[in-house]
């Protein structure tokens, strides 16, 4: 299906600035890196989580543990949508109990992905707290979920699509809003 | 600006600017509190397989010359500083520190928070680490560090000792002749120096104090050494874990009681092991030119140059035979002992300074006196 780019939101530099800012905010609110873990939601969220983690490592000079979760099996629409996403698997190299978890996703939309991620997360233990960091909040929530750290709020119409490209998988960093033609 | 990364085994990570050579090196990350003397520190064989962090923030302002080296090449694995002086100014300077490290393939990293790094090492003990300009991924570097060898149990003496024995005869640089010019005309003793990674200034100091020095390899046997008919034996400084140098301990065991012995640094530890004692690894070691040591006999405090990561366990030594003569005033660890019956003594620190204050110069004199008394009492074999 053809899409048409309506508006560019972020380029590579802009995305890096947002990541830098949120990294500092995370550190400020969590008062340092003790027990702090960054967990990304596969797949965009995991890439973003890795960027936060690297940025925080260089700000605080401490390597913090990495983790990503795959929510495929926790989706409330599993079996309803036509094509099944590829399973990436959950990778948590630490015990989640007692940790300060920052959950990361690229776009916050209905809130259903985050709900599934929370379900997945608590299956691994009982974190001290969980906060949510997203690169973009495009509105249209269907569940009572909000983000603690937001890169950009972008008003969108329901039929529009927010496209996030990462260098790691799409060769360049960019965010734009598109509409199906 | 080329980037470089420093990662410790416990996950501390620093990103800074590369200087000197590029590459990837592993070693034990230790810190030195000297303000100056980086050239002596870089070339001190006791720093083998170590990455040295300088606590003083500005390094390199007087460049590098041909005179101040303690061995022919830099021995450190890597060098970590806060800031490399962009200006080099000294009448003896031949090249900048960056050029020197580049020529000798030693990677350096600057522009990192060395205060944070040193505080961490002081609180948590020395750690293995890596400096890399090739791989800038913290996770993969961390994995590599964890897989790198530990310092405990490592015999590094064989890597730095001389292959062939040689005579050392070199006059001191004018600035080091102080305060002993009057000692030039005196009895000269032949001594054998067992090289476990000796610094040149020790040899110069021995020359100056009236010793004719034959340097031999650390792997030489008791018979090799005695065949040179020495008046005394000197045990040098050196890198690594003394407990791993069993061959050297064995040689020294046989020498005890036969000839007067003076040991410093690793030599001190080897002597303690040969006397049946134990050594252990200090949390973060003593490295620098400002360590206070008390001579328990005279109650005098001297400011000493030190470089050691291991220490002699006083309790493991038989107090009937051994008398502790010096202690470190910072942490009360053993810095020197003597034997009550045999003519031998040793210190953990570096009386030759280089770099450092000359307070402990009297120890070379004490060795001279020890040999003299020993010969007078007719104990010489």
C-beta separation of B222 from B251 below 8 A = yes
How would residue A3 be classed by pLDDT, with cut points 50, 70 and 90?
A: confident
Residue A80: what pLDDT? 64
pLDDT surpasses 60 at B48: yes
Concatenated DSSP letters of B90-147: -TT--B-HHHHHHHTT-EEEESS-HHHHHHHHHHH--EEEEEESS---HHHHHHHHHH
How would residue B181 be classed by pLDDT, with cut points 50, 70 and 90?
A: low
Query: Do B112 and B219 lie in a common domain?
Result: no
Mean pLDDT of chain B: 92
List residues in chain B touching A: CB distance below 8 A: 7, 11-15, 112-113, 116-117, 138-139, 142
- Which residue, of B118, B147, B176, is where some domain finishes? B147
Residue B23 to chain A, least CA–CA distance (Å)? 20
Q: Which residues of B touch A66 (CB under 8 A)?
A: 139
- Going B144 to B146 to B149 to B151, the CA torsion angle's sign is positive
Instruction: Write out residues 35-54 of A within 8 Å (CB-CB) of B.
Output: 54
In a domain, B89, yes or no: yes
Average pLDDT over residues B279-302: 94
Peptide bond into B179 cis (omega under 30): yes
Chain B contact for A112 (CB, 8 A cutoff): no
Q: How far apart are CA B17 and CA B36, in angstroms?
A: 21
C-beta separation of B206 from B363 below 8 A = no
Residue B380: what pLDDT? 47
Query: Do B226 and B79 lie in a common domain?
Result: no
Q: Which residues of A touch B11 (CB under 8 A)?
A: 62-64
- When divided into structural domains, chain B yields a total of 2
In a domain, B152, yes or no: no
Concatenated DSSP letters of B33-76: --SS-HHHHHT-GGGTTEEEEESSSEE-TT-B-SSS-SSSS---
Catalogue all structural domains in chain A, each as residue range(s) with its CATH number: 3-75+88-180 (3.40.50.2020)
Residue B127: what pLDDT? 95
Residues B224-269 have pLDDT tens digits of 999 999 999 999 999 999 999 999 999 999 999 999 999 999 999 9
How would residue B381 be classed by pLDDT, with cut points 50, 70 and 90?
A: very low
How would residue B179 be classed by pLDDT, with cut points 50, 70 and 90?
A: low
How would residue B180 be classed by pLDDT, with cut points 50, 70 and 90?
A: low
According to DSSP, the β-strands at B211-217 and B166-168 are antiparallel
pLDDT surpasses 80 at B182: no
In a domain, B182, yes or no: yes
**B211's tokens:** 């010793």
Mean pLDDT of chain A: 89
Positions of B marked active-site = 265, 350, 352
pLDDT surpasses 90 at B347: yes
Residue B178: what pLDDT? 63
How would residue A74 be classed by pLDDT, with cut points 50, 70 and 90?
A: confident
Query: Do B367 and B331 lie in a common domain?
Result: yes
- Which residue, of B121, B147, B173, is where some domain finishes? B147
pLDDT surpasses 70 at B287: yes
pLDDT surpasses 60 at B216: yes
Distance of CA B203 to the CA centre of its chain: 13
Query: Do B184 and B43 lie in a common domain?
Result: no
Query: Do B327 and B371 lie in a common domain?
Result: yes
CB distance B11–A63 less than 8 Å?
yes
Residue A84: what pLDDT? 58
**Nearest residue in A to B9, CA atom:** A63
How would residue A85 be classed by pLDDT, with cut points 50, 70 and 90?
A: low
Q: Which residues of B touch A57 (CB under 8 A)?
A: 13, 138
CA nearest A135: which of A105, A167, A160? Answer: A105
Chain B contact for A63 (CB, 8 A cutoff): yes
Query: Do B239 and B371 lie in a common domain?
Result: yes
CB distance A61–B142 less than 8 Å?
no
Average pLDDT over residues B130-152: 93
Q: How far apart are CA B219 and CA B251, in angstroms?
A: 9
Query: Do B244 and B330 lie in a common domain?
Result: yes
CB distance B138–A62 less than 8 Å?
no
Query: Do B323 and B202 lie in a common domain?
Result: yes
B18, B27, B137 from B144: Cα distances, Å: 19, 11, 11
Residue B128: what pLDDT? 96
Query: Do B180 and B281 lie in a common domain?
Result: yes
B4, B53, B63, B208 from B87: Cα distances, Å: 22, 21, 9, 35
Query: Do B209 and B94 lie in a common domain?
Result: no
Average pLDDT over residues B296-320: 93
A39, A57, B286, B359 from B290: Cα distances, Å: 47, 34, 10, 11
Percent of chain B topping pLDDT 70: 96
Q: Which CATH number do you get for residue B131?
A: 3.50.30.20
CB distance B138–A54 less than 8 Å?
yes
- The whole domain housing B9 covers 3-147
Query: Do B123 and B168 lie in a common domain?
Result: no
Average pLDDT over residues B104-115: 96
In a domain, B349, yes or no: yes
- Which residue, of B147, B167, B198, is where some domain finishes? B147
Q: How far apart are CA A38 and CA B27, in angstroms?
A: 30
- Neighbour-count burial of A44, counting CB atoms closer than 10 A to its CB (0-12 exposed, 13-18 middle, 19+ buried): buried
Query: Do B277 and B161 lie in a common domain?
Result: yes
CA nearest B151: which of B308, B363, B296? Answer: B308
């Amino acid at each position: 299906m053809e899409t048409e780019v309506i508006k560019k939101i972020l380029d590579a530099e802009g995305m890096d600035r947002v990541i830098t800012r949120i990294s500092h905010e995370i550190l400020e609110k969590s008062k340092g890196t003790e027990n702090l873990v960054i967990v990304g939601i596969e797949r965009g969220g995991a890439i973003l989580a890795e960027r936060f983690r690297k940025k925080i490592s260089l700000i605080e000079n401490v390597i913090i543990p990495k983790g990503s979760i795959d929510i495929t099996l926790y989706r409330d629409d599993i079996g309803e949508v036509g094509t099944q996403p590829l399973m990436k698997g959950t990778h948590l190299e630490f015990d989640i109990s007692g940790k300060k978890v920052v959950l990361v996703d690229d776009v916050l939309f209905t809130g259903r992905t985050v709900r599934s991620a929370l379900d997945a997360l608590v299956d691994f233990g009982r974190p001290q707290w969980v906060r949510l960091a997203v690169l973009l909040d495009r509105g249209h929530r269907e569940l009572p979920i909000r983000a603690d750290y937001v890169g950009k709020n972008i008003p969108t119409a329901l039929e529009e699509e927010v496209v996030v490209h990462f260098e790691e998988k799409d060769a360049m960093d960019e965010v734009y809003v598109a509409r199906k033609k | 600006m080329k980037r470089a990364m420093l990662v410790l085994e416990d996950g501390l990570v620093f990103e800074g600017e590369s200087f000197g050579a590029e590459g990837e090196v592993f070693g034990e990350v230790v810190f030195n509190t000297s303000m100056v003397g980086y050239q002596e520190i870089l070339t001190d064989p006791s720093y083998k397989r170590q990455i040295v962090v300088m606590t003083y923030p500005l390094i390199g302002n007087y460049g590098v010359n041909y005179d101040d080296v303690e061995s022919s090449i830099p021995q450190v694995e890597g060098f970590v500083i806060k800031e490399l002086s962009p200006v080099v100014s000294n009448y003896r300077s031949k090249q900048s520190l960056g050029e020197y490290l580049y020529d000798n393939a030693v990677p350096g990293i600057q522009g990192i928070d060395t205060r944070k790094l040193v505080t961490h090492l002081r609180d948590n003990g020395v750690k293995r680490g890596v400096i890399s300009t090739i791989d800038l991924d913290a996770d993969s570097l961390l994995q590599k560090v964890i897989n790198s060898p530990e310092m405990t149990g490592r015999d590094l003496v064989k890597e730095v000792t001389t292959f062939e024995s040689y005579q050392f005869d070199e006059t001191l640089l004018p600035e080091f002749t102080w305060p002993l010019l009057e000692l030039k005309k005196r009895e000269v003793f032949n001594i054998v120096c067992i090289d476990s990674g000796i610094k040149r200034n020790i040899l110069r100091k021995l020359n100056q104090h009236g010793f004719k020095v034959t340097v031999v390899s650390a792997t030489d046997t008791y018979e090799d050494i005695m065949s040179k008919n020495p008046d005394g034996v000197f045990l040098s400084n050196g890198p690594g874990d003394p407990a791993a140098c069993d061959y050297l301990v064995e040689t020294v065991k046989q020498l005890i009681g036969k000839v007067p012995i003076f040991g410093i640094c690793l030599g001190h530890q080897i002597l303690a092991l040969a006397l049946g004692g134990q050594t252990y690894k200090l949390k973060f070691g003593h490295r620098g030119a400002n360590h206070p040591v008390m001579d328990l006999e005279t109650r005098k405090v001297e400011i000493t140059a030190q470089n050691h990561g291991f220490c002699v366990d006083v309790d493991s030594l038989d107090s009937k035979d051994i008398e502790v003569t010096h202690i470190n005033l910072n942490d009360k660890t053993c810095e020197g002992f003597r034997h009550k019956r045999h003519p031998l003594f040793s210190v953990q620190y570096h009386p030759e300074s280089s770099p450092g204050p000359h307070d402990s110069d009297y120890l070379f004199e004490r060795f001279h006196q020890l040999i003299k008394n020993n010969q007078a009492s007719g104990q010489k074999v």
